[in-house]
Amino acid sequence: MFGLHRNRRESDEARPLGKLTRSEAVGGVAIAALAVGSMLIGAPVVARVLPAAADTLKASIPSQESSTAATDRAQKEGGVLSTSAKERAESGEYPELTPESEPWIGRPAQNVLVDRAYTSRRVEFPVGKPVTLNNEEWAASEAKVTFGWTGTMRVTCNGATAYEDYASAGIAQNALNFDANSSDWQDKAEAIGFGREPYQLVVVDMTFENVDATPQTADLDEFYAAYLGLYNESSSIGDYAQEGYFLAWSSCDHEVRDEHAEGDGVWTSSSFSLDPGASQDVQVAFWVPKREVEEVRAGKGEFVARIGDTFESEGDAGDLHYSSKAVSWRLDLQEGK
């Protein structure tokens, strides 16, 4: 479920929008560089850095002999099998997302991932109800979703709360990945087409109960919070509708010292340890334009939490991830104090 968490860059040119010692994840999507004049700025892209235990992740993806097991279990637990993004786009409910319509999607395997995310049906789970997410079952489904673990986790989405600012959410400014209302970030956001506008935080509250899951990444042997995403299909900004909002903070953030890391060897990991039989509450905050929060409050859109990625390890493009919406929760927005 949990993804890119380190301050290591995909290339010498790439850099995060926030501090170099913070996560590079943007709604679970890696930040890559775009050159505007002489300034390097960040933008959401499809390509990801593969977790350290790539062979483990590949081995966890079985054949399609049990492709309905995940959705069958999901519906027994109260999940509703929804339409695909393609079907919603054709009905006018969702912005068009195809390999042909997105110029930043170029390599063959990326097209496969986008097509898979675009055509696979979504299962929407009820808020507040624990659901069983077995990685192997979902990896064999039509969406080929992987969560970053092997085995089974029981996951509950407890809801989402909007806060006017980080102080209201009880988050220290220096704990944020970056401050979306800072002049520095606003300059960068305007340069890459997001515009200058005020942001606020929407915090998604999750509970994870480890049934028999083990992490698929080897560097920390922990579960990562960056594969949880928040998006709004009615957003007027295509990246937010398709890829989700910028990751601002998680309650499991902690500093890790690594002699191989950049700079002072300290980076912030959005990850946690969880033994089988144990459970943990995790809050993840996202930067959302204030006007979109107001639109959702007025019933002109809905926030949806999603977890997991689709994975591809075929072709010349190598190993890639792309945000899957196959496992989702449609949220009623609560108001913070």
Supply the pTM of this predicted model. Answer: 0.79
Q: How far is CA 217 from CA 180, 234, 268, 271, 303, in A?
A: 29, 34, 16, 11, 29
Residue 268 DSSP class = E
pLDDT for the residue 218: 61
Separation CA 69–CA 139 (nearest Å)? 10
Given a cut of 80, whether residue 278 has pLDDT beyond it is yes
3-state secondary structure of 334: strand
32 pLDDT more than 90: no
Whole-number Å distance between alpha carbons of 235 and 243: 11
Tokens 């505007």 belong to residue:
36
pLDDT at 170 over 90: yes
Across 42-46, 233-237, 279-283, least confident range: 42-46
The string of pLDDT tens digits covering residues 111-158 is 777 777 778 888 999 999 999 999 999 999 888 888 989 999 999 999
Tell me the two tokens of residue 164: 């006017």
- Backbone phi, psi, residue 329, to 5°: -130, 125
Average of pLDDT values for 12-33?
A: 30
- Local confidence band at 279 (pLDDT 50, 70, 90 cut-offs): very high
Q: How many CB atoms lie within 10 A of CB 175?
A: 16
All residues at 6 or more sequence positions from 235 whose CB lies less than 8 Å from its CB, including other chains = 241, 292, 301
Residue 99: band (very low, low, confident or very high) from pLDDT cuts 50, 70, 90: low
Q: Assign 199 a pLDDT band (cuts: 50, 70, 90).
A: very high
Which range (11-20, 65-74, 80-89, 294-303) has the least confidence? 11-20
Is residue 258 over pLDDT 80? Answer: no
pLDDT of residue 200: 96
